[in-house]
Amino acid sequence: YRTTDGGSNWNAIPGFENSERIASVVIDPNNTDVVYVGVLGALWSDSEDRGVYKTTDGGKTWSKILYINPSTGAGDVIMDPNNPNTLYASLWEFRRSAWGFTSGGANSALYKSTDGGSTWNKIHKGFPSGDLGRIAIAIAPSDSNILYSVLETNDKTKNGLWKSTDSGQNWEHLNNDFGLVVRPFYFSRITIDPKNPDIVVKGGLNGSISRDGGKTFKDLGRMHSDIHDIAFHINDSDIMYSGTDGGVYRSWNGGTTFEIVENLPLSQFYHISVDDAEPYNVYGGLQDNGSWYGPSSSSGGVNARDWNSIGYGDGFRVLKHPTKNIVYSEMQGAQNVWRYDIDRNRTKTVQPLQEKDKAKLRFNWNAPMAVSAHAPDRFYMGSQFLHKSDDMGDSWSIISPDLTTNDPSKQNQSESGGLSVDNSGAENHTTIFTIAESPLDENILWVGTDDGNVQVTRDGGKTWDNVTMNLTGIPANTWVYHIEASVHGEGTAYAVFDGHTHGDLKPYALKTTDYGKTWMNIISDDIEGNAFVRNIQEDYENESLLFLGTEFGLYVTIDGGNNWSKFTNNMPAAAIHFIDMQKKTNDIVMGTHGRGVIIIDDISPLRELSQEVLAKDVHFFKAKPFTMVEESGFAGSFGAETQFVGRNRSTSARIIYYLKKRHTFGKMKMEVQDMDGNKITSLSPGKSKGINIVTWNFISSLPKMAEGKTLAFGGFTPKRVPAGKYKVVLTKGKKTYEHIVEVEYDSSSLTTMAERKEQEQYTNTLFNMVEDLAYMVYEINETKKTAQDIIDNHPRGKKSAQRLYDALEDLRKDLVITTGDNYVASADPELRERMGDLYSGVAGTYDGVSAARKDNFKLIEEEFEKEKDRYTKIMAKEGKKFMSYLAKNDLANPIIKTREEFLDKK
């Protein structure tokens, strides 16, 4: 991708559509049209797209300038900062499968070019003989003769850091500390201080730094483990950034200490689930960051402190017990499965264990768990067997045979890794990966495995049907990533298949209505060809409404899969690993790999979509009555932009409508009216083709405040409407469309109806008083302007005009603050400020009006009456004389708008 506006917009560069993984992009500093790209390529299959590419015309055309074979890709590509024609490139031979990994081979090598990539030569002098694996390479910006490289070799004593002081002609082995050689395929980044070639930083389990040219290393400052990238500030090398499995960290002291950057929502969820609390909680497991649960909304937004940790390691499924305050969670490979009692703050490990005279259990890295909807204490887990517990995991029984292919050639994980053996458990294979209990019958259970089997039982596990052979259009052994047992039919289920671990990126999803005897493809050409699928979620009301989670975002169908549309309304093209639906709120909750949790509020309007609706010019969607949620309190957070805060669900009324075409010409406006047609407020309508959402926060208007020297903060409090029905009127050109919105009071409120009526009465009275005062001050100001004109230009009328001006100015000083600046007053609050504060205090609360405020209201009301009387007398005396002078001399009276005109209510 390329941007020419600093990252605001990006354009895909043609030619790399099938590259999959790009490791390096290097731009010639002297000619930005010259760019080099290192394509590592496909991880799971051969690829002709691997190698080093060059463009000399800003990306319009490309030439491949270094290539070995379909299994060897380009890792690091770097440029000499003093000579852009000098390049270094590390090539890596590798292959991953779902059941193993191989790093290294005869084709891994380090190359150098001195002619802009036209020719290349290996620079291995000093390197050990034999196969090489991953090669990291870095050049010192302050001395380009100095190079550092980290090698993976077949001689363990020669792994680690190598250094060249003559631009790669000769190499010396310096160090093979654990921090440098651990998991070389996984930790490959090496970075050099831009001003000091002796300061070298290497990514790794904890990250290592050398300050003596690589002779000795020590750990970087504390941060989350698994450091994958390090960057120095180009002008101040004390400032460093580190990219880890726990996020981005920043150092101000050259790596001695680090602080986490908390404002990037980059978490990677493997799984997501929800409960029925209000607000509901979201549960999920994170890549290398444990298991968590937290509220879907919280005062001031969802902060990090709102989340609760209930597991460490890699987190996967996190499931709430249906009736008890208990949560199940797990870590990688079911090494631990925890049952956490929230009320007692107690945790117990409850994973199934190998039994005497039974086969060793094979658990997937992401082992499946399921909680029964029929028997709350029932808990399922999958190894190669389906395990069942009826006592929340205290005891287990195996209720199936081995449901996988049990292929022994895919069970040699102890040999995985290639040059560096690496049996982390991530390649555990021939395992159960998904478990689905029918919501209609507890005896119907579906199981999908990572090696392509789909199995179903209709008698609680006594007998099983392997329906794999009935699958249509699915390549053999394709990973069964998710099965959704339908709420609309006992024999109905959906299955999605992920072939990317075989190099197959196509989307696959099937539906059966007869317990797997026959299957129907529900993928259409509307879905991107490389958007492989991980999850599907059916709507519990409309069986034709389905949501598909893919590697590149969310898709929706309203016709059971015949046609799909990509959901793009503020939805990133993120990898969606799991979808759940909260049935009370109709929210879609997604766990993404890279963008955290994303919630789409209330998808119920999608249930109405049909061909008939799509044929209309305008269609308003039905909605339940909206509750005026009585929110108050303080968030207690002052993190500002240093912390990410999840937005709460909107508490406003959502007016949702469909436009057949985008509105481009003519007027389009939207009003909220009472049922008699009186305007309450105006809203800004969306004009886009498709679904538009406009929110109304139940307010009618802000009061118009009297003009003064300072801001009148009371004027920032709107007046809320009472509960009832309201009309939404959309005017589009010459046509109007109406929709009814119903508003309810908060049923959880302790405020009585009598208190509400009293609060509304006081609010309305004060609102009118505030605007009466505003109009009175407006009249005073306009009259003063005319008086000032007479004072300046008509000597005979100056005396009369001056008396009126002075009297009105003395009155104005008692009504509003007339000194100070726009924010801070230099005088005591006057009537406007005290009246506005009282209005704001009454209108801004949900409770009844306090006795103190009622007393204050009487005081202000009496004072306002006195000031109105004072104004009347001034105008009756000095004003009358002044107006008489104007009339006798044929001069114009002050131009005063009516109250309605002033308030712009006509």
Taking the C-alpha atoms of residue 655 and residue 621, their distance in angstroms, rounded to an integer, is 8
Farthest CA pair distance, the chain = 119
For 121, other C-beta atoms within 10 Å of its C-beta total 11
Write a three-state SS string for 207-232.
Answer: CEEECCCCCCCEECCCCCCCEEEEEE
- pLDDT tens digits, 10-65: 999 999 999 999 999 999 999 999 999 999 999 999 999 999 999 999 999 999 99
- pLDDT tens digits, 356-382: 999 999 999 999 999 999 999 999 999
Q: Where are the beta strands (DSSP E) in 733-881?
A: 735-745
How high is the pLDDT of residue 823? 61
Taking the C-alpha atoms of residue 598 and residue 289, their distance in angstroms, rounded to an integer, is 18
Write a three-state SS string for 57-78.
Answer: CCCCCCEEEECCCCCEEEEEEE
How high is the pLDDT of residue 712? 82
Taking the C-alpha atoms of residue 897 and residue 109, their distance in angstroms, rounded to an integer, is 85
277 pLDDT above the threshold of 60: yes
Write a three-state SS string for 407-472.
Answer: CHHHCCHHHCEECCCCCCCCCCCCCEEEEEECCCCCCCEEEEECCCCEEEECCCCCCCEECHHHCC
How high is the pLDDT of residue 664? 86
How high is the pLDDT of residue 826? 62
639 pLDDT above the threshold of 70: no
Burial (CB count within 10 angstroms: exposed 0-12, middle 13-18, buried 19+), residue 816: buried
Q: Are 571 and 547 in contact (CB under 8 A)?
A: no
Taking the C-alpha atoms of residue 661 and residue 658, their distance in angstroms, rounded to an integer, is 9
* φ, ψ dihedrals at 414, nearest 5°: -65, -15
Q: Do domains 141-264 and 267-399 have the same CATH topology?
A: yes
**Strand partners for 434:** 448
Instruction: Output Rg (C-alpha) for the chain, integer angstroms.
Output: 35
Taking the C-alpha atoms of residue 702 and residue 183, their distance in angstroms, rounded to an integer, is 63
906 pLDDT above the threshold of 60: no
Q: What is the mean pLDDT of residues 673-680?
A: 95
Taking the C-alpha atoms of residue 107 and residue 676, their distance in angstroms, rounded to an integer, is 81
Architecture of domain 267-399: 7 Propeller (2.130)
| CATH superfamily label, 141-264 | YVTN repeat-like/Quinoprotein amine dehydrogenase (2.130.10.10)
740 pLDDT above the threshold of 80: yes
How high is the pLDDT of residue 709? 87
Confidence of residue 632 (pLDDT cuts 50, 70, 90): low
Confidence of residue 825 (pLDDT cuts 50, 70, 90): low
Would you give the end-to-end CA distance of the chain in angstroms? Answer: 54
Cis upstream peptide for 279 (omega within 30°)? yes
820 pLDDT above the threshold of 90: no
Confidence of residue 460 (pLDDT cuts 50, 70, 90): very high
The two three-digit tokens of residue 344, written as one number: 């007692």
Q: Are 557 and 503 in contact (CB under 8 A)?
A: no
822 pLDDT above the threshold of 90: no
Of 58-62, 515-519, 815-819, the poorest mean pLDDT is in 815-819
How high is the pLDDT of residue 368? 99
Contacts of 472 (CB under 8 A, 6+ apart): 510, 519, 520, 521
Pairing of strands 546-550, 553-557: antiparallel
Q: Are 233 and 252 in contact (CB under 8 A)?
A: no
How high is the pLDDT of residue 110? 99
673 pLDDT above the threshold of 60: yes
Domain range summary for the chain, segments of one domain joined by +: 16-122, 141-264, 267-399, 756-902
Rounded to the nearest 10 degrees, how much is the dihedral formed by the CA atoms of 590, 593, 597, 599? -40
Closest to 288 in 3D by CA, of 362, 227, 343: 227
pLDDT > 90: what percent of the chain?
92
656 pLDDT above the threshold of 60: yes
**Strand partners for 250:** 241, 259
Query: Does the model's pTM come out above 0.85?
Result: yes
